[in-house]
Each structure stands twice: as C-alpha cells, then as structure tokens.
Amino acid sequence: MSEKTDSRKENLSVLLLISALIVGLVIAILVPPLFSQPTQGTGTMDEAVKTARDFLALTNDNNLAIGQVVEFRNDFYVTYYEKSTGIGAFEMLVNKPGTDAIMPEPGPNMMWNTKYGQMMGWTIGDVLTGATITADQAKAYAQGYVDAHLPGAKVIDDRPFYGYYTVDIGMNGKMYGMLSVNAYTGQIWYHFWHGEYITTRSFV
C-alpha cells in the first residue's frame, strides 16, 4: 500500500513539473519584450549590461539596482534587487544574439513573484503571503531535486525573491544552471531555457 502511495505521489509530482514547464514556455512565447532597442551587436556581455541598465532607468525606481548579469548560451539572465532590503525584486532575460530586447523571465518570476509580479502585471491568479519556507529549507529542497535529477550537481548559492528563492546549481567545479523554490509550497521549477553557462558579471 505504501509503495502504491509513493508511486502515485511521484507520478503527481512529475505531472505538476511538466505542467509548470509548459506554462513557462507558453508565457515566454506570448509575453512581448518590455523594452526594445535595435542594435547591430553580436550579443556581448557589455551590450547586455547596457540593455539591463537602460531598462533599470525606465523603471524610475531609485530603490532598484542590478545584482548580476549571467551569460548563458541562449540568453543573458539579469537580476534586479531592492537596495533598501537586499531582497531580489525580479528577474529579466536579455535576448541573444543582438541583445536587442529585454523581457521578464518566464516561470517563477512571473507566476510566483508576490510583489513585483502584480506591480508589473505578470502574476496570474491569487497571490499568497507569509512565506513559510526558509532559505536553508529551500536549499535543502533544491539539493534533493538535483540529487534525483542531476547526479553530482550541488547547490552553490541562493537569492531570495518575494514568494520564492532562486538557487544556483554547480557541477564539476563551475556553474551549471539554476532552479527556483516556491516559498510557500516548496515546489521546484528548473530554469531549462538558459542553455550552457558561460560567465557572470556581478554588481554587488
């Protein structure tokens, strides 16, 4: 009986993960870039940083700053954080190649962000409050996920956002990828869209 129950739970978890990935992909396709600037660039880090800074200026929010720009094979990942709290505000993607557009990262950033998701008009459905999962618990959930799905991978860093944590995953001594952990349910959402890691430029 116990084995059947465990099997059903595992199947349900797989179905939830597949559904989450499909929703994230649909959002990535349907949501237009928030800022676009034609360029003849080839997709360099400097161009991505400029695009990220241009978008920051458009927010007209002096409490926001860029945390880091991470280059992957498929895109540049940008984090913005609150200077007053140190908490992550939201995550964006800069188009590659050409770095000519910036858009909200699909998935947790749009579905779980309890503060900026609503402010930006991204969040769909009810927004939960009162996070129950700590950063240490989130890292433990993340490590459990990679142990099952990415043998040899390790949690190397975490960033708190409103409603979730984004966790960096390392393998063979270097950055490999990232996933997010819901701060209320512990649900895992792997960021499958980035591709191979290349480099990081940090601003904090």
Whole-angstrom Cα distance, residue 140 to residue 104? 27
Q: What's the mean pLDDT in 73-100?
A: 90
Which of 87, 76, 114, 84 lies closest to 194, judged by CA? 76
Most confident of the following: 40-49, 96-105, 106-115: 106-115
pLDDT tens, residue by residue, 133-161: 999 999 999 999 999 999 999 999 999 99
The number of angstroms, rounded, from the C-alpha of 48 to the middle of its chain's C-alpha atoms is 17
Whole-angstrom Cα distance, residue 112 to residue 103? 16
Which of 29, 84, 66 lies closest to 204, judged by CA? 66
pLDDT tens, residue by residue, 103-134: 999 999 988 998 888 666 655 544 455 668 99
Q: Which residue has the higher pLDDT, 32 or 102?
A: 102
Q: What's the mean pLDDT in 165-188?
A: 95
39 has pLDDT over 80: no
Question: How does residue 101 score in pLDDT terms, banded at 50, 70 and 90?
Answer: confident
Q: Which residue has the higher pLDDT, 182 or 41?
A: 182
